[in-house]
Amino acid sequence: MRKKQVWLEATHLFKSPTINKSGIGNYTENIIKGVLDQENANNYHFSIAANLFFTNKKRYIAGIRSKDFSYLYSRFIPGKVWNQLLKRKLMPPIEFLHLKKPDAVVNFDFTAIPTAKKVKNITVVYDLSFLKFRKYSDSKNAEYLTKEVPKSVHKSDIIVTISENSKKEILDEYDVDSKKIKVINPGIDHNFFTPRDKTEIEIVKKKYGINTNYILYTGTIEPRKNIDGILDAYSKLPENIKNSYSLVLAGGKGWLDRDIHQKLEKLSNLNIIMTGYVDYEDLPALYSGATLFIYPSFYEGFGMPPAEAMACGTPVVTSNNSALPEVVGKAGIMVDASDTLEIRKSIEKIINDKNLQKELIKKGYAQARKFSWEDSSRKMMDVIEEALKR
């Protein structure tokens, strides 16, 4: 009997060697690995599909154990041409590029690629930040998603999103049946994000120039993450705390970060450490060594850093908006992202109360355990099977 053909469209995963460590890339890679590791995966033939021009080196996802899968590379269309064809609706159904026909396609990057009518489409729409916080988004990308996401939502048999908050936003924005939307949270690698010992912590601290106790933020350095709010709150802390605790901003350059760097120059007298991009392997020790983790973002589709910090035994201060309450539950302190005073007071409260630290750490371990790639991958497999049965 012919096995059903399921294509996992993941072009974005192969654009850069580091993209698989980004939010969308991390989700895509881990879900793909997990789906291929399911027992019932053997009932299907999975293909990881990507547009990779013939002048680029082929790339592969490490750690896949399944034998019944293949890579499908479209090698004849340069990336820029591919994007223009999609935007102008000139892209032929994907089957014509590969001379094969899938039964279902999982689109992991907001929009559904062109397919024949009988092909089942599953599309992952992570959040609606391109609508909700357009001023913090790349204008061209936001314009493209604003135009194309609603088409993909209506074309797709099932929409996957990553939080109940994102599901609500999709329902509010688009005329779609709620039964069509499935929530599959990102997961945590609980073998990797664990508390690290003092020796490992000290090695990582030395690597990034940290020589005191510290308050930690990890993520892209961009306005949507409310770096301004973090800097304002830290600058207004009592002198004894600022003298004893560095503020560590760990992350790469982001969108519209010029004003942030100008503010950092004005605060150059304070003990603020900019690490730049942090090696993924260093994150658990960096989390583990922090006295607290600060993440007062204005908007998140989910928000993995607070969950990772909790898994590493670090108390968390985060925002009470978007999906962040789902992530933190009752295991962290939630604040109004626009209230610098509230952010500052929460930092002081944790630093000055050892019993509160212990309580948050204990609750954080339990909360972080709610998110696993095994569970998320099982849910994605259920979604694939549901789509194929429709």
- Condensed to tens digits (0 to 9), the pLDDT of residues 281-297 reads 999 999 999 999 999 99
Q: Which residue has the higher pLDDT, 68 or 326?
A: 326
Whether 241 shows a pLDDT value over 60: the answer reads yes
| Model pLDDT, residue 244 | 97
- Range(s) of the domain holding residue 376: 4-187+372-389
Q: What is the pLDDT of residues 31-61, one digit of tens each?
A: 999 999 998 888 899 998 887 776 677 777 8
Q: Which residue has the higher pLDDT, 200 or 64?
A: 200
Please tell me whether residues 323 and 175 are part of one structural domain. no
Q: Which two tokens stand for residue 294?
A: 């600060």
pLDDT band for 312, please (50, 70, 90 cuts): very high
Residue type, 55: T
Residue 295 backbone dihedrals phi, psi, to 5 degrees: -150, 65
Query: 3-class SS at 38?
Result: coil
**CA pair distance 179, 157, nearest whole angstrom:** 10
Please tell me whether residues 248 and 206 are part of one structural domain. yes
User: Cα dihedral angle (331, 336, 341, 342), rounded to 10 degrees?
Assistant: -30
| Model pLDDT, residue 19 | 47
Please tell me whether residues 47 and 124 are part of one structural domain. yes
Q: Which residue has the higher pLDDT, 100 or 225?
A: 225
Please tell me whether residues 263 and 379 are part of one structural domain. no
Please tell me whether residues 22 and 167 are part of one structural domain. yes
| Model pLDDT, residue 99 | 72
On whether residue 192 sits in a domain, the answer given is: no
pLDDT band for 229, please (50, 70, 90 cuts): very high
Residue in the block written with tokens 């357009």: 134
Please tell me whether residues 116 and 62 are part of one structural domain. yes
Tell whether pTM > 0.75: yes
pLDDT band for 320, please (50, 70, 90 cuts): very high
In sequence order, the 6+-apart residues with CB closer than 8 A to the CB of 255 are: 136, 137, 138, 220, 222, 223, 224
Please tell me whether residues 10 and 128 are part of one structural domain. yes
On whether residue 205 sits in a domain, the answer given is: yes
Please tell me whether residues 212 and 358 are part of one structural domain. yes
* Percent over 90 (pLDDT), the chain: 67
Please tell me whether residues 97 and 242 are part of one structural domain. no
Q: What is the pLDDT of residues 10-25, one digit of tens each?
A: 888 876 555 446 688 8
Number of domains in the chain: 2
- Pair type for strands 158-161 and 181-183: parallel
Whether 82 shows a pLDDT value over 90: the answer reads no
**CA pair distance 139, 122, nearest whole angstrom:** 26
Q: Which residue has the higher pLDDT, 266 or 98?
A: 266
Mean pLDDT for the stretch of residues 329-336:
97
Query: 3-class SS at 370?
Result: coil
Whether 65 shows a pLDDT value over 80: the answer reads no
**CA pair distance 21, 16, nearest whole angstrom:** 10
Please tell me whether residues 139 and 214 are part of one structural domain. no
| Model pLDDT, residue 293 | 98
Please tell me whether residues 181 and 325 are part of one structural domain. no
Q: What is the pLDDT of residues 180-218, one digit of tens each?
A: 999 999 999 999 999 999 999 999 999 999 999 999 999
On whether residue 28 sits in a domain, the answer given is: yes
